Structure 1
């Protein structure tokens, strides 16, 4: 959205493809524009995604035994219903969700070996995704992703939605080309749509190619100025 609406990247018709090189692999994106040249939404084909482990029972300090599914969608996530920890995916319970998610991530990383078939540096659990019923009954579900150091994603999370698509497809809950809408913790106003566009093999894993789409808006920009009189303007290094 930013690249096209600022003119950094030239639009090429109503559907403009943009390829992005990411740490998880090549991501093929398409910007869908309206008649005025504004980006209505962006869809992308993510990296091959797969279910890694199903219904793994782990002991989490303070939470007891929990059953989680582990799936990869560009990063590895533990996925479970929020009701398992006595919570709901609502803004009012964000702090509790973040604490519980961080504890689950730590417990899985301590007790289970998670390995990526090709990239060693991706071989760890990046976060925990709690699922819940949606605010809009027409949507599939709502989720919150707790990642890194108990950080909260206010969006449904692109890699997280990809992991969930792989999980639901592996369990026979969604078919190829069946689109579902997943809300973030903010509810029906924050939605990603996703679908499985193809099946594939990824190392030893039966995987999918997920497509995820959503909308974004420019909210600001920063300007940095280099003054020729500034002796430290080129930066400095402390070690």
Structure 2
């Protein structure tokens, strides 16, 4: 719990947000009241936020304003050509390099709130600069409506950064679990993949906290075993989480289920957009699917759905990679104005594990 007698907040706090969810996973979009972030690039700004203003993340993600599994984004001025907005993602442990569910929500938000000057029908392109690179979202757009009417189906698809299989069949020892091997794949963030049978849980019947603990144990084992690298930046080279799947990786028209656990045992309510991207790359490079073959991913937490497919072969440094397209739906849930009273030390943010 936060109990410091000296507040890290030097000025009056009043922060406005728009609240959305994508396939059940929350997104808190910070619209005003957040400090200016210094830096030339988005990765510089991410570092600056982590070093100087991490207390704002805790204020907005933690209780009493958020919860253990809250997710948020602060918008920044992009620094790459083709981007309409820049996004730095935050969660219960820190800062993501990519977030597909947030991209889906931000695509719709950007169209509805004027970040794209000339929206087009039936789809409007939105360039979103994420810490991992430029991601293109395509938002179903129906002109003539008000904020929450534009794209009222909520449908958005995005094309992510080049994604690749980093390590296949990695042997790991996970104390307390029967895991023998895992795969590690990149979809804007690095994930370990393991089947539910290999960790002794059932995605649709085991308590979600048991699934989260199993995934966290796998993540810790992989971190101790594997040195991760990325051709573009060392800031991208870390294991973000573990995705437990039902093992149905071979191409099928039926849905395949998974649960993504990232950060500090944080459970994604959606099928996980960057996770679906990484899983498509894994399936493609292990020969389970071909270009253009669409898979349906089901969240083991909520039953919500994303679609995904590999659409183009590319390279990423020394890796053979694919561009992956992921689709889902996002909806508005409300708005907030948050404040902090000077004597409220618990209001700085706390988590009950």
Sort the TM-score into its range (normalised by shorter chain): 0.7 to 0.9
Cα deviations by residue, 1:112-138 (Å, 9 ceiling, x for unpaired): 11111121011111100011278xx95
- Moved beyond 6 Å, runs of 4+: none
For residue 167 of structure 2, what is the aligned residue in structure 1? 53
> Of the candidates 122, 130, 139, which is equivalent to residue 14 of structure 1?
122
8 Å CA contact 2:164–2:187 kept in 1: the answer is yes
Does residue 146 (structure 1) correspond to residue 261 (structure 2)? The answer is yes
Of the two structures, which has the highest relative contact order with CA contacts closer than 8 Å and spacing of 6 or more?
2
Question: Counterparts of 1:75 and 1:221 in 2: how far apart (Å)?
Answer: 29
For residue 114 of structure 1, what is the aligned residue in structure 2? 228
Does residue 99 (structure 1) correspond to residue 213 (structure 2)? The answer is yes
Unaligned runs of 5+ in 2: 1-107, 343-353
> Of the candidates 257, 272, 296, which is equivalent to residue 157 of structure 1?
272
Question: Counterparts of 1:57 and 1:123 in 2: how far apart (Å)?
Answer: 20
Does residue 204 (structure 1) correspond to residue 302 (structure 2)? The answer is no
Q: How many residues align?
A: 226
Question: Counterparts of 2:236 and 2:265 in 1: how far apart (Å)?
Answer: 18
> Of the candidates 298, 301, 305, which is equivalent to residue 191 of structure 1?
305
Deviation at 1:95, TM superposition (A): 0.4
Deviation at 1:38, TM superposition (A): 2.7
For residue 219 of structure 1, what is the aligned residue in structure 2? 333
Of residues 163-172 and 59-68 in structure 1, the stretch that sits farther from structure 2 once superposed is 59-68
The 5-angstrom pairing of residues 128-143 of structure 1 reads 128-132=242-246, 138-143=253-258
Unaligned runs of 5+ in 1: 232-239
| C-alpha spacing 1:212/1:49, structure 2 compared with 1 (3 Å) | same
SS at match of 2:332: coil
Of residues 119-128 and 32-41 in structure 1, the stretch that sits farther from structure 2 once superposed is 32-41
Deviation at 1:193, TM superposition (A): 0.5
Greater share of strand: 1
Deviation at 1:217, TM superposition (A): 0.6
Q: Give the structure-2-normalised TM-score.
A: 0.59
Q: Give the structure-1-normalised TM-score.
A: 0.86
